[in-house]
């Protein structure tokens, strides 16, 4: 007799980093809608966005906590995990979503115009530079890799200690279709950090499988977020991107990323681990 595993997360506890907006926010809400109690964290909390996510989760009848956390800081991450375990007694799901595209830090709407000007200046500098490596900035490189890649080890180490005690868990890392870049575009610290996430996902999947902990990654592309706004506000760039969105011909909201995460943490994928799955309406394929 054929059976269909459940997708309900009732009784489970999820931790989602970088969750005040975008992919992190929508993922947290999808997990809550599926029945999970959800802990959300972000580096920026003074704007009230994270509190609003907590309130929305509670309005669904789920329990929720919000933490101001720098995912690069082991002490802060350990404190978040400790308080989560004390409040809920368990952690079943971790979504490593926190990340930045620029060394300046999170993309904020009020800084959009200044970013656009800086990007134009940088493009002029890159065009006139004798080589990419001649423009190498060690500090900027380290900021992006520490935030996007090293943080996954920091958070996974802390949360896996709790998961191992329960001999179960599901971890999803947020990569990008830029992790598949080759040639010149692969030289950006963002692309390098995301390719590193893919490799780390596979390594962690092997390491933690003995404890019944699955580790996968999603690779979004063409998602409407504040980070993508730097490109989508340019008509020619937006037209180029949407022409390559094979399913629908337009950019997509962050919610489908949450749906894929839900699949990867539910019993529907109980034998899936070490995989990197694109959610991009075919954009990566169309890029060639």
Quick check: 179 pLDDT over 90?
yes
What is the share, in percent, of the chain residues with pLDDT greater than 90?
78
Quick check: 8 pLDDT over 70?
yes
Q: DSSP letters along the chain, please?
A: ---------TT-EEEESS-SSHHHHHHHHHHHHTT-EEEEEES--TTSHHHHHHHHHHHTT--EEEEE--TT-HHHHHHHHHHHHHHHS---EEEE----SSTT-S--GGGHHHHHHHHHHHHHHHHHSS-SGGG--HHHHHHHHIIIIIHHHHHHHHHHHHHHHHT-EEEEEE--GGGG--GGGGGSHHHHHHHHHHHHHHHHHHHHGGGTEEEEEEEE-SB--HHHHHHHTSHHHHHHHHHT-TTTSS-B-SHHHHHHHHHHHSGGGTT--S-EEEESTTHHHHH-
Mean pLDDT of 63-68: 98
Give the Cβ contact number of residue 180 at 10 Å.
18
**248 — alpha (psi -120 to 50), left (phi > 0) or beta?**
left
249: burial class by Cβ within 10 Å (0-12, 13-18, 19+)?
A: exposed
Mean pLDDT of 257-270: 98
> What domains are defined for the chain?
13-287 (3.40.50.720)
pLDDT at 111: 73
- This prediction has a pTM of 0.94
pLDDT at 124: 67
Mean pLDDT of 248-276: 97
Q: Which residues are catalytic?
A: 190
Q: How confident is the model at residue 10 (pLDDT cuts 50, 70, 90)?
A: very high
| Bridge partners of residue 68, in order along the sequence | 42
pLDDT at 110: 77
**282 — alpha (psi -120 to 50), left (phi > 0) or beta?**
left
Contacts of 110 (CB under 8 A, 6+ apart): none
Q: Who wins on pLDDT, 255 or 120?
A: 255
Nearest to 215 by CA among 147, 168, 258, 145: 168
pLDDT at 126: 63
Mean pLDDT of 138-167: 96
Half-sphere exposure of 266 (CA within 13 A, CB side): 21
Half-sphere exposure of 9 (CA within 13 A, CB side): 30
pLDDT at 262: 98
pLDDT at 118: 73
C-alpha span between 7 and 266 (Å, rounded): 5
pLDDT in tens, 95-133: 999 999 887 777 777 776 776 777 676 666 667 777 878
Using the structure block, give the residue that is written with the tokens 């937006």.
Answer: 238
Quick check: 229 pLDDT over 90?
no
pLDDT at 122: 67
Average pLDDT, the chain: 93
Q: How confident is the model at residue 234 (pLDDT cuts 50, 70, 90)?
A: confident
pLDDT at 38: 98
């Amino acid at each position: 007799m054929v059976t269909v595993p459940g997708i309900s997360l009732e009784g489970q506890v999820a931790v989602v980093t970088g969750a005040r907006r975008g992919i992190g926010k929508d993922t947290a809400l999808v997990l809550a809608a599926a029945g999970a109690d959800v802990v959300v964290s972000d580096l920026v909390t003074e704007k009230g966005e994270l509190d609003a996510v907590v309130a929305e989760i509670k309005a669904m009848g789920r329990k929720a906590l919000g933490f101001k956390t720098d995912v690069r800081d082991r002490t802060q991450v350990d404190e978040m995990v400790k308080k989560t375990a004390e409040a809920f007694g368990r952690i079943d799901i971790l979504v490593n979503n926190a990340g930045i595209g620029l060394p300046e830090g999170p993309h904020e709407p009020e800084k959009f115009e200044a970013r656009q000007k800086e990007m134009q200046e940088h493009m002029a500098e890159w065009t006139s530079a004798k080589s990419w490596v001649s423009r190498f900035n060690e500090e900027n490189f380290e900021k992006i890799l520490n935030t996007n890649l090293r943080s996954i080890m920091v958070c996974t180490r802390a949360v896996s200690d709790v998961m191992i005690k329960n001999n179960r868990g599901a971890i999803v890392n947020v990569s990008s279709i830029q992790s598949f870049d080759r040639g010149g575009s692969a030289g950006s610290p963002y692309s390098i950090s995301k390719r590193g996430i893919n490799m780390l996902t596979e390594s962690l999947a092997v390491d933690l499988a003995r404890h019944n902990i699955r580790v996968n990654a999603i690779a979004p592309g063409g998602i409407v977020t504040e980070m993508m706004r730097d490109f989508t506000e340019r008509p020619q760039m937006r037209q180029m991107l949407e022409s390559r969105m094979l399913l629908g011909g337009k950019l997509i909201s962050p919610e489908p990323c949450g749906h894929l995460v839900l699949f990867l943490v539910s019993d529907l994928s109980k034998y899936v681990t070490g995989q990197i799955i694109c959610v991009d309406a075919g954009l990566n394929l169309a890029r060639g």
